[in-house]
Copies of this chain bind each other. A is one copy, B any other.
Amino acid sequence: MTRVAIAGLGTVGCGLVSLLEQRGGQVARGERVEIVAVSARDKNKHRPFSTSRYEWYDDAVAMARSSSADVFVELIGGEDGIALSAARAALESDKDFVTANKALLAHNGGELARLAEQHSRSIGWEAAVGAAMPIVAAIRHSLFANRSERLIGILNGTCNYILTRIEDGESFETALAAAQAQGYAEADPHADISGLDAAHKISLLSALAFSTPLALEQVSVEGIANITLDKVRAVARNGYCIRLLAICEAVPDGLSLRVHPCLLPIGSRLANVSGVCNALIYQGDFCGQVFISGDGAGGNATASAVAGDIFSIARGRKIPLFGLPSANLSALPFCPLQDIISPWHLNFRVRDQVGIVASISAVLRDCGISLASILQDGSADGDADNVSLFLYTHRASTIAIDRALSLIDKLGILQSAAFAIRILEMNEDK
């Protein structure tokens, strides 16, 4: 029998209790799984189950250390504090550790992996990236023989929900309020909107897929706070939508780790991922492109992944946190964002006067940026004096684009700040 202690009884914790009560014995059969202890801040809060069935701990760390559990499940949240103390205590007490906490692992995964190895324990974290999406098991097992080439993910459901609502005609602020009303976004949505949450997740996946030590500090992060309804409408007229992508890819100079909004052709696989759904394209040298999508958030979806880890542990799985023993992970050089090359979309709001296009395109030429197309649109907003210029470039580095934008700004012709966004290059002919 596998005994489980659960710390944190919010939506996910209650979902997990419900799942394990329904089928702890049934699903695992030979490997019965049973909750023995629970912990949360407030014992007397109303919950859909009776906590009196289980040993109660006010202190999660004490539960991690003292309970009779074989597996300690951490659903408290936070990158350090109680969650980290409890994780350490659980592993030091020879318990397996399962968590949905990406911030905790992104900051402390290296230490916890070593601790788990010292104590011959497992760390399950399927739920930490993409909730019910089975990407950790896929990369750890089925795809493990591949040399990873590229991972492109929509890994933050809140941002994707907001971007989808903007596509449907809402302002950023209204969409964010809707996400909060639905319970998708926190009262303080900073970690989602800023791209930090997606950065946590892609740093974890990159360590697993590229067998490298965790390197959260190497992730270049740009969020979606400047994506407006106007911008979304403008790119939609040219056949694109905007998604916040988390990308990890092998480039000639090393590994590129980044989170930023990106244009995708409407109708492409990632563009079709809407609402709080998450998705990942994994590209390996032998498997080609594998696409996985599913519910990226929610109590039941997350509980599904946590329980999957518990059952895997109950059935004897012992795979290191990042697939390989810590000592076998090898650091790769990182390629800074400024050297990453991609096509770009540039959007300038300018006065409608002679020579503007010539001035802007001269700057781009001087910066070595080649134009794929240029469109002028003055009709959209009844502002007769100004026009919008939509430029689509061929491949250019971030540093070249930054330089061009700075020079264009100095021309003194912009009526508002320029908007520049990368365009995803993706071979989707299969």
Give the docked Cα–Cα distance between A276 and B307 (Å). 34
Give the docked Cα–Cα distance between A317 and B144 (Å). 13
For chain A, the bracket of interface size reads 35 or more
Which residues of chain A in 104-147 are interfacial with respect to chain B, using CB atoms and an 8 Å cutoff? 126, 132-134, 136-138, 140-147
> Would A287 and B132 be within 8 Å (CB), given that A30-B324, A325-B30 are in contact?
yes
Q: Are A147 and B23 in contact (CB under 8 A)?
A: yes
Give the docked Cα–Cα distance between A142 and B29 (Å). 17
Q: Are A308 and B275 in contact (CB under 8 A)?
A: no
Give the docked Cα–Cα distance between A318 and B275 (Å). 38
Q: Does A414 contact B (CB under 8 A)?
A: no
Give the docked Cα–Cα distance between A100 and B276 (Å). 35
Q: Are B132 and A286 in contact (CB under 8 A)?
A: yes
Give the docked Cα–Cα distance between A147 and B22 (Å). 10
**CB-nearest residue of chain B relative to A132?**
B287
Contact of A145 among B27, B137, B317 (CB under 8 A): B27
Contact of A308 among B141, B295, B316 (CB under 8 A): B141
Which one of A274, A287, A289, A295 has the greatest number of beta carbons of chain B within 10 Å? A287
Q: Are B307 and A286 in contact (CB under 8 A)?
A: yes
Give the docked Cα–Cα distance between A139 and B316 (Å). 16
**CB-nearest residue of chain B relative to A303?**
B286
Q: Does A71 contact B (CB under 8 A)?
A: no
Q: Which residues of B contact A138 (CB under 8 A)?
A: 134, 137-138, 142, 292
Which residues of chain A in 249-292 are interfacial with respect to chain B, using CB atoms and an 8 Å cutoff? 267, 269, 272, 274-277, 284-292
Q: Would you list 14 pairs from A and B whose C-beta atoms are within 8 A, ordered by A residue?
A: A126-B142, A132-B286, A132-B290, A134-B134, A134-B137, A134-B143, A137-B137, A141-B308, A145-B310, A287-B300, A288-B298, A288-B300, A291-B292, A316-B316
